[in-house]
Structure 1
Amino acid sequence: MLLRILDRLEETLIASLMAGATLLIFASVVQRFAAGTALLYPYASGFDLTWAQELCIFMFIWMAKFGAAYGVRTGIHVGVDVLVIKLPPRARTAAILFGLFAGALFTASVGTMGARFVYGLMGTDQTTPDLEWPSWTVYLCIPLGSYLMCFRFLQAAWGFWRTGALPHRDLGRVAGVPDAADALEAHP
């Protein structure tokens, strides 16, 4: 139950950040175009969207950190397993578990360093240039996203230990779009 809530929260955050950044950039481009047009200048010049680029950068950074965790959960990260698949079954299991635990250790380390960095920033008056937000709010994505990614590595390791399967996606197929094989099965 809690894992499903976390999954949906993760997906909603990523999708909302992506949609919000896209709409914000679109509005900013329209505003700049309108401000350069003599007819629309009186209307468009009243809107100040100079902060939009900075906010979009922050949104994409947060999206990337949480998207990396989503990638571990769904198995969409690129992996080179040419040597691993040639190993005997026991060695293959050990190599995969080593890789997953190494990923968990690395992301836990990054998360801890990020948490220390954010904690240090909280004691300063440093703000972002355009939005003038406290800088620590922007960098908070480092520990949050890294710890979530660490959790996803551990989750994948536990699932692999129990079932012998890693999360993966068939990148040759698009969900919801039938391919030729589906069409032949439906209409022989």
Structure 2
Amino acid sequence: MGRFLLRILDRLEEILIASLMAAATLLIFVAVVHRYGTGVPFLYPYFIQLHISWAQELCIYMFVWMAKFGAAYGVRTGIHVGVDVLVNYLSPAHRKPVVLFSLLCGVLFTAVIGTMGLKFVMELYETGQVTADLEAPRWIVFSAIPAGSYLMCFRFLQVAWAFWKTGELPHHDESRVEGVEIDQTPDAQPPSPAGAAR
């Protein structure tokens, strides 16, 4: 049951990140077309009626949400950059506590950021502030801070627990592209060029 719920969480995380990225990209494209379209005389009467001044603000907020949840995804998949030169020189017996300590520091840091972010969001909720262009409640926008930080904290705990049990960290293979399988069989001899001497 636990693994099933984790798979659902993993999938929701990926869908949210991909959806935000696609929506932000599409919105930026529309905003650019609108901006340049208003400069074309015969399109001006049509484009000037479209009010999308809010697009830039919405894109910024979508990228913030994407970055916060993308950071949690990075912890889960092991794609964050890490400086492990000194750690790799340690023996396996000494390496394990150092790695666990660094993961628990990540847990502590993200828990603190999440708690401070939650306090900030609650203050925004009480004051009823809204954003400049969208006039959306600011507490909804800034909810990305506690939500993303707590998810990242959970991912650090998840990685730490897996490392404690197996000694393995999530690893991202830069040479592999998901969905692309490369045949590992030895290459066949290239055919000899036409007309070559035998």
**Which structure carries more helix by proportion?**
1
Partners of 2:141 and 2:186 in 1: how far apart? 50
Shift of 1:34: 1.1
Task: Tell which structure's C-alpha radius of gyration is larger.
Answer: 2
**Which residue identity does 2:105 align to in structure 1?**
A
Match of 2:23 in 1: 20
For the aligned residue pairs, the C-alpha RMSD in angstroms reads 1.2
Partners of 2:71 and 2:155 in 1: how far apart? 10
Partners of 2:7 and 2:107 in 1: how far apart? 21
**Which residue identity does 1:121 align to in structure 2?**
L
Shift of 1:33: 1.2
- Please tell me whether residue 126 in structure 1 is matched to residue 139 in structure 2: no
Partners of 1:185 and 1:97 in 2: how far apart? 39
Q: Structure 1's 134 and 86: CA in aligned 2 closer, same or farther, altered over 3 A?
A: same
Shift of 1:125: 2.3
TM-score of the aligned structures, taking structure 2 as reference length: 0.90
Partners of 1:121 and 1:82 in 2: how far apart? 43
Partners of 2:186 and 2:38 in 1: how far apart? 54
Total equivalences in the alignment: 185
> Secondary structure, in 3 states, of the residue corresponding to 1:93?
helix
Task: Render the CA deviation track for 1:156-179: whole Å, top value 9, x for unaligned.
Answer: 00111111100011113323345x
Match of 2:185 in 1: 185
> Secondary structure, in 3 states, of the residue corresponding to 2:83?
coil
**Which residue identity does 2:95 align to in structure 1?**
R
Partners of 2:41 and 2:99 in 1: how far apart? 62
- Please tell me whether residue 139 in structure 1 is matched to residue 139 in structure 2: no
Match of 1:3 in 2: 6
Match of 2:67 in 1: 64
Match of 1:154 in 2: 157
Partners of 1:186 and 1:111 in 2: how far apart? 51
Shift of 1:186: 6.3
Moved over 6 A (4+): none
Shift of 1:32: 1.1
Q: What residue ranges of structure 1 are gaps of 5+ in the alignment?
A: none
Task: Render the CA deviation track for 1:19-44: whole Å, top value 9, x for unaligned.
Answer: 00000000111111111100111111
Shift of 1:184: 5.4
Q: What residue ranges of structure 2 are gaps of 5+ in the alignment?
A: 189-198
Partners of 2:28 and 2:183 in 1: how far apart? 39
